[in-house]
Amino acid sequence: MSTSPRPDNLDPAIAARLKRSADGLVPAIAQQYDTGEVLMLGWMDDEALHRTLTTGRCTYWSRSRQEYWVKGDTSGHFQHVKSVALDCDADTVLVKVDQVGAACHTGARTCFDDDVLLRAAD
């Protein structure tokens, strides 16, 4: 994590429920709201979750760049938030979105199409 403090505007009631990793992050799964297609996994800290909840656009914390990024700001492949939920352990966020364009940084619709390890037989 960055050594400089990041803002934290998340509702304290939500913040108190979150179970974060040692670096203060929770995994955030983006799922297409109407088809159930799993699109990608990103990371959120409290401020990224706050921004996602209040702007209607997915905001993530980039572990490599140590900065916030809003999905679509550079690529044009936006994620419009439809709902946000915590899993039963409050350690993972599920963001149901309306994905515009590709979700994966490779240009693929989803990050989970190219390396299928097991596929059910027909």
Res 42: pLDDT: 97
- Which tokens sit at 22? 């040692």
| pLDDT grade for 121, boundaries at 50, 70 and 90 | confident
Rg of the chain in Å (alpha carbons): 15
Tell me if the pTM is above 0.85: yes
Q: Is the pLDDT of residue 1 over 60?
A: no
Res 115: pLDDT: 83
| pLDDT grade for 85, boundaries at 50, 70 and 90 | very high
* Selected residue with higher pLDDT from 113 and 56: 56
